[in-house]
Structures are given as structure tokens and as C-alpha cells.
Chains A and B, each alone.
Chain A
Amino acid sequence: MNADELKAKLAKYRLSADEFEQIRGLLGGRDPVGVEWALFSALWSEHCSYKSSRVHLKKFAFKSPRVLQAMGENAGVIDLGQGEKVAFKMESHNHPSYIEPYQGAATGVGGILRDIFTMGARPIALANYLCFGEPTAPRMQALVDGVVRGIAGYGNCVGVPTVTGQTEFHSSYNGNILVNALALGLVCGDEPIVTSPARGVGNLVVYVGAKTGRDGVHGASMASESFGADSESKRPTVQIGDPFFEKLLIESCLEVMQKGLVVAIQDMGAAGLTSSSFEMAAKGGVGLKIHLDKVPLRDSSVGPEEILLSESQERMLLICEPAKLKAVQDVFHHWGLDAAVLGEVVKGPEIELLWKNDVICKIDPKMLTDHAPMYEREYKPWSAKHKVSALSVGATKFPSLVEQMASVQGTSREWIYRQYDQRVGGKTVRDCEDSLAAVRLPSGRALGLVLGCRPAVMRMDAQVGGYDAAFYPALELNAKGFEPLALTDCLNFGNPEKPAIMSEFVAAVEALAEASRELDTPVISGNVSFYNETSDGNVTSTPSTGMVGLRESISGIPASHFVKAGDEVLLWRLPGVSYVSDMRGEVKAFTGELDPEALERWFDEVRAVSPKARATRVAGKFGLGYTLARMCTDELGAKAVKGDWAGATPAWSTEHLYEVVLVGDSSLMAAVKAACERSHSHVWRLGTVEKGPLTLDNETTDLKTLRQAYKTGWSKHFAQLA
């Protein structure tokens, strides 16, 4: 191979010259041949190998006694006691969703569901974390429409409720939206948790689910590249989803697992059959013999390389004992699906790929998995660029309460979640309308789910934002009486080869890791999405999270709005970071710092006091004024006045990390005061709940105006979407 040929090969397979040399070393000095190129291309892609992030992801290597499965499996699993376990994970589908929003978002949901039921868990809840550009950006209305329709089309049909979500808008996402999907599944009683390592020489390798086509070939390496002007031409690399097939796959896979017919199972996700078979073999320390010509095809012209890399959806690879094959096939046939034997488990270490009985590749899978490159990308220790000793707002113009409610940041997301089935499954206690989702467990307890990461805080400071990605959802859970247990993350960042991006990545990961240790909520699963950039720049670094919590009872969860006139409205704060955001929700500077240890202690107090409150709400974007406005109902408002809790900046729109509004009868104050003494926090009486308008100091806004602004803001920004 001459230099030009080599250059062309490396470009086609998206490998660097250094990586080529590493491959030659692993292969005993020879060049890769035939499908080996495609294998290294796929499994050494950023998407599959985590080569830029692995070094730092080790910082999450912390477990609590509840953790049954963590990183390295398809999803993490935690033990809830009383025979109940939950598996959950979050994953990005950013690039496909920008290219083809409906299918990109739909297959994002399908993929994350497979990660959950692969473990033997029945999916019971979905959530999505979405970041879009400005509503006026090119294609943005169509992208919002397509993504929401895609999530709805898939989730509703497959019969898993979407119970919560978060949607952000910012110009940095104009050319690269973020679509992160979270799925959560339940394992009960003596149902098994099934893992992926292949075992047992002589066991069969069985392919189940949809037939293989050309869709998604090279999808994994596509997702590991930045977007250029040619992103349109990448449409053929986007997969097509079929939720009906997925539903059949859920039922049949859970049945074979619960009947004990399966040794190991893994879904065919990124890099399809290649990553599933190579990872299963490498983890199990065995070899596999796979006849690629036995893979069921949609189109007989699909060749071996495409079969290896196809990302056709709704497919699983499983290992079973030969004696159990008939029983496995019976279950799949019952559900109208095929199960094809591709080969068998052989003595390790090599995987042998055959095409019409010719060996086309024989290679040790560890070369592609364990020996994948790992980079220590350049970064700088974090220094807070926007930190000041005292906030000053100068001539900054701040939005009025009504403007906040109607703004794209502040308006209701009802248009989105109306399109999601939030109740299928009969477990939903709190839905998308609330600040947290809750589902009822068979034991009668409640499982809470909250998403985290606020891009505005990330833009302010990546370290504070990283902490916030864990602390904010943790406070939301505690304020409703849920004990936070564990979290999953989806780290959406720009180009890791740029030190500025890598510095934000490391700062956010370290802060998130520290917060999770402090909260005793280990990161049990997750995904990294790099190269979220366009020619105009990088997206906001966005480490989205999903945190689950447990509550002993489903009854008595505090409301998120005012319930009774005459109730006292309290503000409870642990001083830390504070800042003010402008008209567009942007933050110029912040002051103060977070004390993770103190926060954790305070959160426990918040949780202990929460049952005494009729309503609670964590103060978030736009500060206290917006928070109180969101607590108003059609009839109930409040009268609140400034006190010594206010500083030099506008009292009702300064944001504090962290503070929570509690509402209850006159006995609530005493309980909170006692808790303050134990946690160095402060409580103030803001005012009372009243029938009628919302009055903040001398400013009165009638409820109808507030509700109207909140409800109709969306249609002003998204006039094209009926």
C-alpha cells in the first residue's frame, strides 16, 4: 500500500496514523486486511471505545451497597430492597436526530429501551433531555416537531410511559441539537438479572429480532465526527425504528430470560453485530464462530462488511445451551419473531467470522475492545473565569415576571408532553406536569425520577454546572421526600481534541463525581457524546443526568403548587453560589462557592421536614419570583415581601444554589427552624398563600395574566407548530 492509498484507507475508516501503527503492532507487524479495517474502525471509534473519556470516567468508580451492576454492562442496576431492583441508563442520539429528527429520536428511545430489557428488567418509564437552538434558527421548528413526534411515536407504541423531561433552548445548539433518552426498568422477586459475557464452549450464538439491512452502516464512526456542511449526505447512516417489533422483542426476551433459557444476551446497538459479539466474547474470555451468511437479511445483496456494521434496529444477540434452543425458538415464534443460529461459542481467544464457510477474519476480540486506544487529552486545571467577589447588576435589564413566564426558557412545555403517553403501565403517580416524576412500585413504595444539568449554569461555570447536575435533581427529590439513590449521565461535549473543551469536560466530570460521592448516589451507567460542534462552534458543555430516589409511601408527596389559602410560604436556603440571569436566561457572573458536604447534610434535613409541607418547590431558573409564579393556580396566589434574605441584587430574580420554597400551616416554621440549627441553613417567612393575585412587595400580577403568559408563550415562539 503506498502513502496515498493508506491515507485514503485511513480517511475512509476514520482511523489516525498513530492508530494504524498500533493496529499493526497488535497484528504482529502486518497491515489489517479485509473486514479487519471495518472492525477496527467501528470498535476504535470514540462512540464505542470512549478513548478520550475513559481515563476520566474512572473517577465515577464508586459504588454504594445498593449497586448490583454498574458501568461495563448494558445498564446499571440498583437494589431497592423488598425484592425490587431497577435498571436505568441514559444515552445520546444527537447526531442522527439532527440529520433526521423523527427517526433519530425514535431510535434513541428504542436503543435505550433495549439496554434496559437486555438486563432482564421490564421497562416502566422513559424520560428525555432535549436541547434545541433558538426557535428562529434554520430548521429549528421542524427539528422540535420531528424529535417530539419521534419520541412519542416510539414510546407510545411500545407502551412505556414518558414520565418526565427537560427541554432547553440556546443558540449554541442551533446546528447541533441534543437528544438524550433515559429508560428505567424493574426487576421483581426472583426474576434474573442477565448479563452479557459469553460462556460455555459449545453453546449457541442466536440472533433474534428484525432482519438486517444497510441502515446505520458506519453509524458509530459517524457519531464520532463533527458536523460539516455535508451532514445531509449522512442521512443513509440514520437507522429506522419499528416500535411494534420492539414491543414483541421486549415480551419475548423477558420471557426467555425469566424461563432461564439464556446464558448471556446483548442488544446490537452502535456498530451492531460487531460490537455485541466482540464485547460478549471479550468479556467472557471465550471465542465465537459466527457464520455471517446465516444472518437474516432484508436485502440479499447486503455483504459481510455491511452485516458486521449495520445498525438495523430491534435486534439482539444471545447465547443459549443447545438443549434449550427449541424452547428459545418456541418463545420467539409465539411472539411472531425468528431466532436464527449464527454459530457457537468456541475455546478462546479468537473470533472466527465465516462467509459461506470461508474464514474471512480470525482475530482476538480483546485487540478491538481491551486494547482500544486510550487518550489523555490535553486540559487545564479548572479556574472559574466568571467568579466575582460581589455581584453587581449595573444597567442590566431584567425581565418582568410575565416576560419570564412567556419566554422560551420559562414557558410551559405542555405542547411537548401532551404528545407523550404518560400513564400506560398503570404506575404513574406524578407525570410530566410536575417537577419530578414518580411511579408506584409493586411494594407500594414510590420511585422518583428527576433529570439534571442546567446549560445556563454550565455556561456560567463548568465546575459549578457539574456539581449542579447532581445537586439540583437531588434537592428536587429530597424536597418531595425521596431519598436519592443513584444516577446515570450523558456527557454531551464538543471536540475533545480542543483543550478548552477537555478542560470543561474534566472539571464537570470531577465535580459530578465528587457530588455523587457526597450524596452517596453512584453513577451507575452513562454515555459520552463528543464532537457536538459545527463550523460555528461547540455546543454548551452539557452533562445531563437522571437521578432516581425512593420514598417509603406514595401518599403525602408534597404538591408543587399552592394548595390552601392562609398557608405560610417559607424560604429555606443554604448559602452557596448566587447569580442573576438576564432577559435570555444568561449569566454573566457568580459569587460564592458550593460546599458539597454541607449540602448533603442539609438535603437530609429537607427530606426529613418535607412531609410536614403541603407543597415544596426548588427555586430554579429566574429565581424566586418565577418559582412563586409557577406555584400559583387558577385561584391561589400569594403575598410575599422582601426580607433580610435579599442582597444587593434584585431580590425576586437572583438565583441561589440552593434554596427551596416550602408551604404549609403555622407549625411548619418551627420544624424548619429546628432543622436549620442542625444544618447551618436559614429560613425566612416570605408571606402567605392567598385567594387572588401574586403580590411581590408592591408589584401585583393577576393570576390570569401569569397563567396566560405561561401557557401561550410556547405558541408565540413556535408559531409553525400547531
Chain B
Amino acid sequence: MAKPVGILRFLGTNCDRDVWQAVEAMGLTPQWLWYEDQFAVKDYQGFIVPGGFSYGDYLRCGALAAKAPVMKSLGEAAAAGYPVLGICNGFQILCETKLLPGALVRNESRRFIDKWVDLNLVNPTRWTSRSQGAVHLRLPIAHGEGRFVMEEAELARLFDNEQVWWTYGDNPNGSMRDVAGVANEMKNVCALMPHPERAMFDWMGSEDGRAIFSALLQ
């Protein structure tokens, strides 16, 4: 039987059930990973850090979650090449743990934004390995701090290294060079601000999120 997909839960995570629903919709088996616990990396086929407001976004988005015990195991999984996906707050957490480059700061509008956006694939990664050539996705965003920033020179290197995963068609939050999602150098750890788990069925308004979760299909 296929190994389960580990879904991390911190105090305040609130897209955990949505991701569970999405993983099940792909015919995969989800399993919770509680923030206080470490886990055996080899028991899982991949990991997802869902969105939400871990620790109420206190201190700085993702900063407190980054210090939780479960992240030690996740770091091992990342180093060992397992697929790791961060969504929204999950993206922020992965940046805070330095598993991904850059940082996410307050939207240019200084307001939370909920809307559908168009994304363009810049470089394929482990998480688009089975997307059957999908280069444009329509997914919803819902964040107050999703503006991707880093040093200009570093960002240029990120593009050169093919670590920029998705860019926005119509930049909603002021992200530098329209960056919506990035990957680590090995391309196994990836994250994006939009929510693929909210675009899994026609009735949700789009099924494009499947292009991402399909990466876990054997």
C-alpha cells in the first residue's frame, strides 16, 4: 500500500482539513503530524505544510511554527529529497526555517486579499512533475502577508537557478517580479501563496489544484 502523506498541524493552522480533503480527493492517504512530535521520515511519501494562522501570526508569520519540534523532522525529510509542499502560511513557515529562500511581507495594499488569480509556470519542480504540462493555473489567494521579497541580486540568482516556480499573471500583492511560488535548489521543497486545495472540484470554481497534488501519485 502507498505510504501516507503527512500534513503538519500547528496551533492555529486552519487549512489542515482542506488539505486533507484534497489529498483524499487524489486517492491518497492523509495523516496528521502534530507540531510537538517528531516523525520517521521514511514512513511517508511526502509532506504538506498547510495554510492558516499558526500561532495567530504573532511575532511574525510562521516564525513560531518554524521552531516547533515537528520542523526538525521536516528538515530531515527535505534534505533527504522527499517532496515537501508549503501553502500560504506553510510558505511563510518554510521561509522562516530557511528551507526556502526569501521572505513574505505585508501586501502592498496593506490589506488582506481574497481573490482568484492566474499563475504562470516558470520552472517545473518535483511538485509539477505529473501536471501533464499545465503551465497556467487559476487558483484563489487569501493572505495579508504574501508579498515575496528578497535582495535583487539574490532574486536574479533564484531565476537563474530555475528556482522560481510560479509567477502571477496580474500581481495582486506587490511581490517582487510577480513571484507566487518558489523551490529549493533540489526542487523537492516547493511553496506557493495561492491555495491549490481550494481548487480541486468544478464546484469550487476550478480543478487546477490537482495539477499540484498529482505530483504525489505513484
Contacts and interface: CB of A to CB of B under 8 A. Distances in A.
Contacts of B17: 425-426
A419 B197 contact: no
Interface string B51-65: 011011110000000
A422 B112 CA distance: 12
B111 A157 contact: no
Interface in A419-435: 419-426, 428-429
B204 A244 contact: no
Given A157-B56, A159-B15, A417-B114, A426 B21 contact: yes
Given A247-B11, A423-B204, A722-B109, 14 more contacts: A242-B56, A243-B56, A244-B53, A244-B57, A245-B56, A417-B114, A418-B115, A419-B112, A423-B195, A424-B198, A426-B200, A429-B203, A440-B203, A555-B203
Contact of B114 (A243, A245, A419, A554): A419
Interface in A385-429: 417-426, 428-429
B203 A159 contact: no
Question: Mostly helix, strand, loop or mixed at chain B's interface?
Answer: mixed
13 contacts: A157-B14, A157-B56, A242-B56, A244-B53, A247-B14, A417-B114, A418-B113, A419-B111, A421-B112, A422-B114, A429-B204, A440-B203, A722-B109
B179 interface: no
B142 interface: yes
Interface in A151-195: 152, 156-159
Nearest to B35: A336
Contact of A244 (B56, B109, B112): B56
Interface string B84-127: 00000000000000000000000001111111000000000000
A248 interface: yes
Interface string B189-209: 000000101101011100000
B184 to A, nearest CB: 27
Interface string A584-621: 00000000000000000000000000000000000000
A158 B140 CA distance: 19
Contact of B12 (A152, A248, A555): A248
A159 B197 contact: no
Interface string B40-80: 00000000000011011110000000000000000000000
Nearest to A721: B111
Interface string A681-722: 000000000000000000000000000000000000000001
Contacts of B162: none
B164 interface: no
Contacts of B185: none
A13 interface: no
A421 B52 CA distance: 11
B57 A426 contact: no
Contacts of A242: 56
Interface string A327-339: 0000000011000
Contacts of B58: 244
A423 B114 contact: yes
Interface in A229-278: 242-245, 247-248
Interface string B7-47: 00001101101100110000000000000000000000000
Contacts of A421: 112, 114, 142
Interface of A: 149, 152, 156-159, 242-245, 247-248, 335-336, 417-426, 428-429, 440, 554-555, 722
Nearest to A160: B14
Contacts of B15: 159, 424
Contacts of A424: 14-15, 18, 52, 142, 198
Given A426-B18, A440-B203, A159 B52 contact: yes
A302 B27 CA distance: 55
B35 to A, nearest CB: 10
A423 B14 contact: no
Contacts of B11: 244, 247-248, 335-336
A336 B35 CA distance: 12
B203 A426 contact: no
A243 B53 contact: yes
B114 A428 contact: no
A336 B55 CA distance: 11
Interface of B: 11-12, 14-15, 17-18, 21-22, 52-53, 55-58, 109-115, 140, 142, 144, 195, 197-198, 200, 202-204
A469 to B, nearest CB: 28
A16 B112 CA distance: 47
The 4 closest A-B pairs by CB, nearest first: A159-B14, A244-B56, A426-B18, A157-B53
B191 to A, nearest CB: 18
Contacts of A722: 109-110
Contact of A420 (B14, B114, B197, B203): B114
A428 B22 CA distance: 14
B203 A244 contact: no
A157 B114 contact: no
A418 B114 contact: yes
B53 A426 contact: no
A423 B53 contact: no
B213 to A, nearest CB: 13
B160 to A, nearest CB: 35
Contacts of A440: 203
A231 to B, nearest CB: 27
A364 to B, nearest CB: 41
Contacts of B57: 157, 244
Contacts of A420: 112, 114
B142 to A, nearest CB: 4
Nearest to A156: B112
B203 A554 contact: yes
Given A157-B56, A243-B56, A152 B112 contact: yes
Given A156-B112, A248-B11, A423 B55 contact: no
A505 B202 CA distance: 45
A158 to B, nearest CB: 7
Contacts of A418: 111-115
A423 B200 CA distance: 12
Contacts of A243: 53, 56
* Residue from the set A242, A419, A423 with the largest chain B CB neighbour count within 10 Å: A423
B114 A426 contact: no
Nearest to A243: B56
A418 B144 CA distance: 11
A329 B26 CA distance: 37
Contacts of B113: 418-419
B18 A244 contact: no
A18 to B, nearest CB: 47
Contact of B204 (A156, A158, A426): A426
A423 B140 contact: yes
B112 A426 contact: no
A426 B113 CA distance: 17
A158 B14 contact: yes
A440 B197 CA distance: 15
A244 B22 contact: no
Nearest to A158: B14
B101 to A, nearest CB: 27
Contacts of A425: 17-18
A440 B55 CA distance: 28
A522 B57 CA distance: 40
Contacts of B140: 423
B14 to A, nearest CB: 3
Nearest to B113: A418
Nearest to B16: A159
A491 B109 CA distance: 36
B107 to A, nearest CB: 11
Contacts of B144: 156
Given A418-B113, A554-B203, A722-B109, A423 B198 contact: yes
B115 A426 contact: no
A701 B115 CA distance: 28
B12 A244 contact: yes
Nearest to B201: A440
Contact of A428 (B112, B115, B204): B204
B142 A156 contact: yes
